[in-house]
Amino acid sequence: MKKVQVLGSGCPKCEETAANAKAAAAAVGVEIKIEKVKKPAEIAKLGVLFTPGLAIEGEVKVSGRVPTVDEIKPWLTKAS
């Protein structure tokens, strides 16, 4: 099971990011556990200045925009 973190306040774009991660995981057959990181200090520790952000297994993949389902798929299938 991969740890996926959605970084942001819980705004609609953050929710869309979480939904896209779930859809990508279902499409590639990978189990994920989504953790929503809402505290600005915790988000900053990951080096993210703009939300929404997405981190997989602790590695920030994108920040400041909503990643697409197709964009997320290869991030989930790479060995970590």
- Catalytic residue list: 11, 14
- Residue corresponding to tokens 């505290």: 39
User: Exposed, middle or buried: residue 15 (CB in 10 Å: 0-12, 13-18, 19+)?
Assistant: middle
How far apart CA 34 and CA 23 sit, in angstroms, is 12
